[in-house]
Chains A and B, each alone.
Chain A
Amino acid sequence: MVLKFYASPFPVAGGGIVALALAEKQAAFDFVPIDLKTKEQKTAEYMALNPFGKVPAINDDGFVMYESRAICRYVDEKFAGQGTTLVPKGTKERALVEQAVSVESMTLFPPLDKVVWEVVVKPERGLAPDQAIVGKGLKEISDTLDVYEGILGKHRYLAGDDFTLADLVHCGYLPFLVEKGVDIMTAKERPNVARWWNELMSRPTWVKLQAEGMKSTV
């Protein structure tokens, strides 16, 4: 049975990260949309897949798992012989990828999550963004990107000269800000970050995913 991939039908957030990884690995899958508006992710049927009641999840011929970054790693190993290598095999190279992946989830994501909540989710619910929270969050993100500027001056991608999981995970949430007209990724003061971001946003797998959306390969 082909891998079943459960997520919200928009190529964003955790589902978007997994969709991009599946595309990078040229992996076949059957896409099953989960309707967050009706809280389908909190139904007993879905929570049998992910007891935390969050998307995405996969069911690979009976092997069920959740958490987008964990799913990406599984897909990378299972389809090791094809597509892009998302996590390298060498111990030191792998460690540098893990380091950069950890920076994204521990340092960049917390303020980013807060800002996305204010500028994307609240307006959808008819609520006004709290500009103080937005301002504070954007400052923290900007400070982190200042460090990325130094890192990306030394090599092409975050963990070295090859695209890896460390770069891929940044495609889940930062595009929300860009879409809202927040210029943070292409700011002139950070030419290396802008160069890197433009490379990510021009990747054929990313462009295709955004153009065609989440759909089964079979």
Chain B
Amino acid sequence: MVLTLYGLAAPLGGTATVAMTLAEKGIPYTFVSVDLQHGEHKQPEFRKKQPFGLVPALDDDGFVLYESRAICRYLAEKYAGQGPTLIPTELKAKALFEQAAAVEFANFEPHARAAYNEGVLKPHFNLPIDASALNTCISKLSDNLDVYEVILGKQRFLAGDEFTLADLFHVAFGTTLAEAGCDLMTSKGPNVKRWWKEVTSRPAWLSVLNSGIKTTMCEDDAFKSGVSEP
């Protein structure tokens, strides 16, 4: 039986993060759009799957999981045998992956999300931007990216020389920064720029951008959208 992904069909946030992982691993899935605009995610019916009233959620033949990072970890583990290895297995390599994954949610996401809320969402709802608040989160992000610049001068990706979920988790919010008027991902330094270009050029991300988040018909479809060969 096939996986069902519930979420928002847009190239940002948790749903896009999961969609990219599904594409990386060549996993076919059914997509069910949740109507966030009309508050479907807060309704009791949806809360049976996701009690916090957030998207995305995954239903794997009755096993329901939420939190995009947890879903991606589950997919990486369950489908360890196909597509790229997104979580290392050796003790120390895995620990360095966990470190990089923690840096993402502790040092990158809060500021990237704040920049998105202030610089993209507010204008979308015709609310005035608080320039001071926007500058604060961009400044914090900049300080943290100074450290990324050093790390990425020593190794190709955040956890080592292989692409992992730690890099992937940055994509869906990182790509909204430019829209918020923040060009840090390309202007911070040559190493961050090189890494960002590599990560956002992956076929799996391009498929989310170009083909969108939608039901894949079969395994061949899933492979064509994400990985180069089954």
B residues in contact with A98, CB < 8 Å = 67, 69-70, 73-74
B residues in contact with A67, CB < 8 Å = 98-99, 102-103, 106
Query: What's the minimum C-beta distance from B39 to chain A, rounded to whole angstroms?
Result: 15
A residues in contact with B66, CB < 8 Å = 99
When each residue 89-120 of chain B gets 1 if its CB lies under 8 Å from chain A and 0 otherwise, what string results? 00110111011011101110110000000000
Q: Are B98 and A74 in contact (CB under 8 A)?
A: yes
Tell me, in angstroms, the Cα distance from A68 to B144 when the chains sit together: 17
> Total interface residues on B, using CB and 8 Å?
34
Q: Are B77 and A51 in contact (CB under 8 A)?
A: no
B residues in contact with A52, CB < 8 Å = 103, 107, 144, 147
A residues in contact with B151, CB < 8 Å = 51
Question: Out of B51, B54, B69, B98, which one reaches A70, CB within 8 Å?
Answer: B98
Q: Are A102 and B67 in contact (CB under 8 A)?
A: yes
Tell me, in angstroms, the Cα distance from A147 to B69 when the chains sit together: 19
A residues in contact with B68, CB < 8 Å = 102
Q: Which of A29-37, A104-112, A116-124, A175-183 contacts B (4 or more CB under 8 A)?
A: A104-112
Residue of B nearest to A57 (CB): B99
A residues in contact with B74, CB < 8 Å = 91-92, 94-95, 98
Residue of A nearest to B110 (CB): A110
Given the interface contacts A95-B70, A98-B74, does A105 sit within 8 Å of B95 by beta carbon? no
Q: Are A73 and B98 in contact (CB under 8 A)?
A: yes
Query: What's the minimum C-beta distance from B165 to chain A, rounded to whole angstroms?
Result: 11
B133 at the interface (CB under 8 A from A): no
When each residue 162-206 of chain B gets 1 if its CB lies under 8 Å from chain A and 0 otherwise, what string results? 000000000000000000000000000000000000000000000
Q: Are B96 and A106 in contact (CB under 8 A)?
A: no
Q: Decide if the interface of chain A is mainly helix, strand, loop or mixed.
A: helix
Q: Are A151 and B105 in contact (CB under 8 A)?
A: no
Q: Are B91 and A77 in contact (CB under 8 A)?
A: yes
> Total interface residues on A, using CB and 8 Å?
31
B150 at the interface (CB under 8 A from A): yes
B65 at the interface (CB under 8 A from A): yes
Tell me, in angstroms, the Cα distance from A36 to B98 when the chains sit together: 25
Q: Are B78 and A91 in contact (CB under 8 A)?
A: yes
A residues in contact with B67, CB < 8 Å = 98-99, 102-103, 106
B residues in contact with A105, CB < 8 Å = 105-106
Residue of A nearest to B91 (CB): A77
Query: What's the minimum C-beta distance from A65 to chain B, rounded to whole angstroms?
Result: 5
Within 8 A of B (CB), among A49-99: 51-52, 63, 65-70, 73-74, 77-78, 91-92, 94-96, 98-99
Tell me, in angstroms, the Cα distance from A57 to B175 when the chains sit together: 30
Q: Are B52 and A91 in contact (CB under 8 A)?
A: no
Residue of B nearest to A97 (CB): B70
B residues in contact with A102, CB < 8 Å = 67-70
A135 at the interface (CB under 8 A from B): no
Tell me, in angstroms, the Cα distance from A96 to B91 when the chains sit together: 21
A191 at the interface (CB under 8 A from B): no
Q: Are A65 and B99 in contact (CB under 8 A)?
A: yes
Given the interface contacts A52-B103, A52-B107, does A103 sit within 8 Å of B52 by beta carbon? yes
Tell me, in angstroms, the Cα distance from A52 to B107 when the chains sit together: 9
Extra pairs beyond A63-B95, A74-B94 (10, CB < 8 Å): A52-B103, A65-B96, A70-B101, A91-B74, A92-B74, A94-B74, A105-B105, A106-B109, A107-B52, A151-B51
Spell out B's residues near A (CB within 8 Å). 51-52, 54, 63, 65-71, 73-74, 77-78, 91-92, 94-96, 98-99, 101-103, 105-107, 109-110, 144, 147, 150-151
Selected A-B contacts with CB under 8 Å, 16 pairs: A67-B99, A67-B102, A69-B98, A70-B98, A70-B102, A73-B98, A91-B78, A92-B63, A94-B77, A95-B70, A95-B77, A96-B65, A99-B65, A99-B66, A107-B54, A147-B51
Rank and list the top 4 A-B pairs by shortest CB-CB distance, nearest first: A67-B102, A102-B67, A70-B98, A98-B70
